[in-house]
Amino acid sequence: MKHQWREAFGKMTYGIYVLTTGDGDVVNGMIASWVTQVSYDPPLILAAVHPHRYTHALLEKNRVFALHVLGRRQKDFLKRFKGPVASEKFTGVDWRSGDTGCPILKDCLAWFECRVQQHLQPGNHTLFFGEVVNSGSSSGNTPLSTLDYEGVYTGKN
């Protein structure tokens, strides 16, 4: 049974995003794919983050995040933001500090700056519900998704 659900989960498709958070000089980002819009009034986004991630601790402390929609031409962001070395993630990346203090990556297809309204942990990931307080988008390019890769993150044992 265990491998049956994992294989079935592997057939689901997701967008691939960069989730950033920060407060002053401390900023971090990570690749996130377990993300969805959950409301339009108010506009809410849900992002699932594993409690062992450094970003998780920052989210609990700062209670803000920015979610960035990557384009297919931005595959290089995957390697940069997937790694554990926080100090190297923003080196050479064009970004600015948003209204909440979160890093806003320039040249993404879209971004959403959010304040965490609530979080809960129904399983092994914490679900952070963020209300969109600022956003932006650009034209062109196709959003990056798990359809662009042969594998899907289904969790770790």
Question: pLDDT digit string (tens) for 84-94?
Answer: 777 789 989 99
With beta carbons less than 8 A apart as the criterion, state whether 33 and 146 touch.
Answer: yes
| Nearest Cα residue to 63 out of 113, 105, 106 | 113
Residue in the block written with tokens 């990556």: 105
Q: What is the pLDDT of residues 64-91, one digit of tens each?
A: 999 999 999 998 898 899 877 777 899 8
Q: Which of 60, 55, 91 is nearest to 76 (CA)?
A: 91
- Tokens standing for 37? 């819009």
Q: Spell 59-79 as b/e; 16+ CB within 10 A means b.
A: beebbbbbbbbbbeebeebbe
- Cβ atoms of 15 and 67 within 8 Å: the answer is no
Residue partners of 44: CB distance under 8 A and separation at least 6: 37, 38, 117, 129, 130, 131, 132
Domains of the chain with CATH codes:
19-148 (2.30.110.10)
- Give the number of other Cβ atoms within 10 Å of residue 57's Cβ: 14
Contact between 31 and 84 (Cβ < 8 Å) = no
Residue 34 contacts residue 146 (beta carbons within 8 Å): no
Pairing of strands 110-120, 43-49: unpaired
Backbone angles phi, psi at 38, to 5 degrees: -120, -10
The string of pLDDT tens digits covering residues 111-146 is 999 999 999 999 999 999 999 999 999 987 899 998
pLDDT of residue 10: 82
% of the chain surpassing 70 pLDDT: 94
